[in-house]
Chain A
Amino acid sequence: MGAEELDVLFQERIDANDKIEPRDSMPEEYRKHLIRQMSQHAHSEVIGMQPEGNWITRAPSLRAKKILLAKVQDEAGHGLYLYSATETLGISREELIEKLHQGKAKYASIFNYPALTWADMGAIGWLVDGAAITNQVSLQRTSYGPYARAMVKICKEESFHQRQGYEIMASMANGTAEQKEMAQDALNRFWWPSLMMFGPHDSDSPRTGNAMKWKIKREFNDVLRKRFIDKTVSQAELIGLTIPDKDLKWNEENNSYDFGQIDWDEFWSVVKGGGPCNVKRLKHHKKAHQEGEWVRKAAAAYAQKHSSK
Chain B
Amino acid sequence: MDSLNLSKFCIRLGDHCLIMAHRQSELCSNGPFLEEDIAQINLGLDLLGQAEALLIYAAKLEGGSRSADDLAFRRSERQFHNFMLTEQPNTDFAFVIVRQYIMSLYLLKTYQVLSKVEDETLSGIALKALKELTYHERHFSMWINRLGDGTAESKLRIQTAVDELWMFVGELYEEDALDLTAQKALYAPKGEEMKAFLMEQITAKFTEATLSVPESVYMTTGSKQGIHTEYLGFLLTEMQYLQRAYPDAKW
* Contact B249 A175, beta carbon cutoff 8 Å: yes
Q: Does A178 contact B (CB under 8 A)?
A: yes
Asked if A57 meets B38 with Cβ closer than 8 Å, knowing A297-B150, A298-B150, A302-B145, the reply is no
A298 and B45 contact, CB distance less than 8 A: no
B73, CB-defined interface residue at 8 Å? yes
A-B contact count (CB 8 A): 129
With A49-B28, A69-B25 as known contacts, state yes or no: A302 contacts B149, CB within 8 Å: yes
Q: Are B45 and A171 in contact (CB under 8 A)?
A: no
Indicate if A284 sits at the interface (CB-CB under 8 A).
yes
Nearest to A298 among chain B residues (CB) is B150
Query: Counting CB contacts under 8 A, is A246 at the interface?
Result: no
Q: Does B108 contact A (CB under 8 A)?
A: no
- Asked if B76 is at the interface of the complex by the 8 Å CB criterion, the answer is no
Which residues of chain B are near A62, meaning CB under 8 Å? 48, 51-52, 55, 68-69, 72
Q: How many residues of A contact B (CB 8 A)?
A: 45
B135 within 8 A of A: no
**How long is the Cα–Cα vector from A273 to B213 in the complex, in angstroms?**
50
> For A196, what are the chain B residues with a Cβ–Cβ distance below 8 Å?
none
A9 within 8 A of B: no
User: Which of B167-175, B177-185, B238-246 interfaces with chain A?
Assistant: B238-246
Tell yes or no: B89 within 8 A of A by CB: no
- For B22, the chain A residues whose CB sits under 8 A away are 57
- Across-interface contacts of A285 in B (CB, < 8 A): 29
- Decide yes or no whether B248 CB sits under 8 A from chain A: yes
Instruction: State how many angstroms separate the Cβ of B21 from the closest Cβ of chain A.
Output: 8
Cα distance A57–B26 when bound, in Å? 7
Interfacial residues of chain A within 273-309, with CB under 8 A of chain B in the complex: 284-285, 288, 291-299, 301-302, 305
Interface string of B48-74 (1 = CB under 8 A from A): 110110010000000000001100110
Residue interface bits B103-116, CB-to-A below 8 A is 1, else 0: 00000000000000
Separation in Å of the B140 CB from the closest CB of chain A? Answer: 13
B37, B153, B242: the one within 8 Å of A60 (CB): B242
Asked if A235 is at the interface (CB within 8 A of a chain B CB), the reply is no
B151 adjacent to A66 (CB under 8 Å): no
Which residues of chain A come closer than 8 Å to B160, judged between CB atoms?
Answer: none
Query: Which candidate, A22-30, A74-82, A221-229, A254-262, is the interface stretch facing chain B?
Result: A74-82
| Cβ–Cβ < 8 Å partners of B35 in chain A | 80
* B145 adjacent to A69 (CB under 8 Å): no
A58 touches B25 (CB 8 A): no
The answer on a CB contact under 8 Å between B93 and A292 is: yes
Residues of A within 8 A of B251 (CB): 60-61, 64, 118, 171
Q: Known: A60-B73, A178-B246, A302-B146. Is A53-B28 also a contact (CB below 8 A)? A: yes
Report the minimum CB–CB distance from A106 to chain B (whole Å).
18
Alpha-carbon distance A242/B86, docked complex (angstroms): 44
How would you classify the secondary structure of chain A's contact residues: helix, strand, loop or mixed?
helix
> Which residue of chain B is the closest to A50 with respect to CB atoms?
B29
Most buried by A among B36, B37, B151: B37
- Please state if B241 and A46 are interface contacts (CB–CB under 8 Å): no
Given contacts A53-B29, A302-B145, A302-B150, contact A58 B38 (CB under 8 A): no
* A contact residues around B30 at 8 Å (CB): 288, 291
Residues on A with C-beta less than 8 A from B246 are 176, 178-179
Smallest beta-carbon distance A45→chain B, Å: 10
Q: Which of B69, B92, B241 contacts A61 (CB 8 A)?
A: B69
**Are B32 and A58 in touch, CB under 8 angstroms?**
no
Measured between alpha carbons, how far is A301 from B147 in the docked complex, in Å? 9
Question: Which residues of chain A from 102 to 138 have a CB within 8 Å of any chain B CB?
Answer: 118
The residue that A292 contacts in the complex, of B31, B239, B249, with Cβ under 8 A, is: B31
Any B CB within 8 A of the CB of A85: no
**Using an 8 Å CB-CB cutoff, how does the interface string of A134-172 with B read, 1 for contact, 0 for none?**
000000000000000000000000000000000000010
| Interface residue A14 (Cβ < 8 Å from any Cβ of B) | no
Chain A residues near B93 (CB, 8 Å)?
291-292, 295
Least Cβ–Cβ distance between B80 and chain A, in angstroms: 15
* Inter-subunit contact A69/B150 (CB<8 Å): no
Q: Which of A77, A284, A295, A305 interacts with B29 by CB under 8 Å? A: A284
Assuming the A-B contacts A57-B239, A65-B48, are A73 and B154 also in contact, with contact meaning beta carbons closer than 8 angstroms in the complex? no
Q: A53-B28, A292-B93 are in contact. List 9 more A-B contacts (CB 8 A).
A: A56-B26, A57-B25, A60-B243, A62-B68, A76-B41, A294-B151, A297-B151, A302-B146, A305-B149
For the complex of A and B, 3 pairs with smallest distance between CB atoms: A292-B32, A298-B150, A298-B154
| Contacts A/B (CB < 8 Å), 16 sampled | A57-B26, A60-B73, A61-B73, A62-B69, A64-B251, A66-B49, A66-B52, A73-B41, A76-B34, A80-B38, A118-B242, A118-B251, A288-B30, A291-B93, A295-B154, A296-B32
